[in-house]
Amino acid sequence: MARGRAAALVAAALALAGIVGCGESGGVEDGATVTAYVVAPLCPDAKQALGRGGADAGSVRVQAVCLPPAHSDGKLDLSAIGAGARRATEDSSSIAYIEPPDPAATRFSETILESAGIPLIVNNSGAAAISELRKALREADSGSLRDSVSESLR
């Protein structure tokens, strides 16, 4: 019984640490790496922009994680969108979710991302979206990085 409680306490502590990540806590450590989740087909362009312009953005480094496209066989793939958005919410280093313009996809992903306070950047260009994210990160205040980025992107 005591072993079960200890395991539950450890699990709760780890969950809280994951929630605190970039979201609700104070600042993020200088030099930390934050993650932008990028939906195909924008990811190659976003990664190339990070390579060209460097991954540094203010006091943090940005990495891009590629997600599957939002369309399959010409139809909107809600399971792929949901899986990608949930993946971003489960990562304490998530700082943004980048997707191409598609009102139906945006409505679906936005509801998932809002629950974790992850900003959504909708753009036709992965490079432009990364540039927008870098600017928001450079302008971030000392509070919650996600909140600062969200505010800057509005």
pLDDT grade, residue 14 (50/70/90)?
very low
Q: What are the pLDDT digits (tens) for 70-104?
A: 999 999 999 999 999 999 999 999 999 999 999 99
Closest-CA residue to 145 (of 135, 153, 137):
137
**Residue 18, pLDDT above cutoff 60:** no
Domain boundaries, the chain: 2-153
2-153: CATH topology is: Rossmann fold (3.40.50)
54: tokens are 């460097």
Separation of CA 136 from chain center: 13
